[in-house]
Structure 1
Amino acid sequence: MVNSLWFQWKSLKLPWRKSRLAGVDLAGNTFWEYRDDPNANRWRRMLKPDPNIHLSEVQVTPQWHQWLRYVREHAPTVEEQQQDVARQLQIKQLARLADERWASKPSYLDKPQTQNPIPSVGDVSGSLRSQNLPLSTQDATPSQPESPESIPQPTPQKAANPWAQADRSNPGDSWQPSDWSPNSKR
């Protein structure tokens, strides 16, 4: 109560005052306007941080920073600062929901699951002919379903190391610069 009365008294624009309170942010920092010279054209603006906070931990909101740099004419109100905090919380909530939606979708960077390769769209009939499969359902003869044991499983082959076959010598190992001659032309 006493604090708010003191803030109201200090924020009055009286002609004999050299400094006046412009406002307070949500962190407890106070913002002041003052005149160095009585004939100065504009008031100077400054921040007095909360005395309970270390100077390295003082954070100024964008609205107050704009006011300090004369980008905005009037100091931000407490309601405006509270709306900005609510907007930031809403953006964080929407970003969290977007991250959850993104994480739920499969990624092309994930390890592929073992599936039969899908033939390319360009030449489906050619790929079916190469596999000796019927092109239409009329040509297909019903067959007995195969058991998983009768399906031949591909044997994993060990990939050859391309660096093992590489030549171990550098191409420039045998190169030597030619002698210098002042009259030689290219």
Structure 2
Amino acid sequence: MSSIRETWYKWKALRLPWRKRFLVGRDLQGNTYWEFRETRGPTAPGRFRRIVHYPRSTHYSDVKVSPLWHQWLRHLREHPPSLQEQTQDIKRQERMKILAAQADARWEAKPRVMDAPGREHGQPVPALNTMKTQPIAPESHAVNKDAAETATQEQLDSDPALRKKKYGFDPWEKAKGPGEGWQPESWTPPASKRR
């Protein structure tokens, strides 16, 4: 910043009795923060009102006010933040971004419950157990009823004929919807009764 502008800021920051508006400080984006006494009525002075002025070249949507200055504008802090405090806050925000990226990377490296086994970030692939995963061959259905009695729950769930042998009926038969070969029947209304 030029020395002329620095001198002008110091002059505007002086709280001279005839002044109505005082410069309080500036931020790193070039915004200036002002304070003036708000009058509520002809003689009753109210508390100081706080406002921000930004450079004229800045568009409304590009105005960025730091959290420290937001606190001061809303009367949550009594004294305005210094330039050193503002630079430390920016460094803190940068550190937080780095730490958040590291935490996200650690979280992504963990296995997820919803992923299929064996995928890149998924659960570990389960060990093969041929006794449970081997389906029963179709010719074994006709061997005897003992095969249906000794079948595991997984085999019963996957084979409707085995369920029918074990229970005498297929409990899921009613729950099945119409098959692929289903065709709607034509509907003819019944004859109406004469009154």
Q: TM-score normalised by the shorter chain: which range applies?
A: 0.5 to 0.7
* Structure 1 residue corresponding to 2:177, chosen from 162, 166, 182: 166
Whether 1:80 aligns to 2:82 is no
Q: Structure 2: where are the runs of 5+ without partners?
A: 119-124, 136-154, 160-171, 180-195
Whether the 8 Å CA contact 1:67–1:73 is kept in 2: the answer is yes
The 5 A counterparts of 1:81-160 are 81-113=86-118, 114-116=125-127, 154=134
Matches within 5 A, 1:34-45: 34-37=36-39, 40-45=45-50
Name the TM-score, length of structure 1 as normaliser.
0.60
1:53 and 2:55 matched: no
Percent identity between the two aligned chains: 42
Give the CA deviation at 1:10.
Answer: 0.7
Unaligned runs of 5+ in 1: 119-130, 132-152, 169-186
Aligned equivalents of 1:117, 1:24: Cα separation in 2 = 68
The Cα RMSD (Å) is 3.2
The residue that corresponds to 1:173 in the other structure is none
Q: Aligned equivalents of 2:100 and 2:52: distance in 1?
A: 32
Structure with greater helix percent? 2
AA at the equivalent of 1:26: L
Deviation at 1:117, TM superposition (A): 6.0
Contact 1:49 1:55 in 2 (8 A): no
Give deviations 1:1-30, integer Å, cap 9, x for gaps: 211111111111212211110110111111
Paired with 1:26 and 1:34, the residues of 2 have a C-alpha distance of: 22
- How many residue pairs end up in the alignment? 133
Q: 1:84 to 1:41 in 2, by over 3 A?
A: same
Amino acid at match of 2:75: Y
Cα shift at 1:97: 0.8
Residue 47 (structure 1) shift: 1.0
Question: Shift of residue 108 of structure 1?
Answer: 2.2
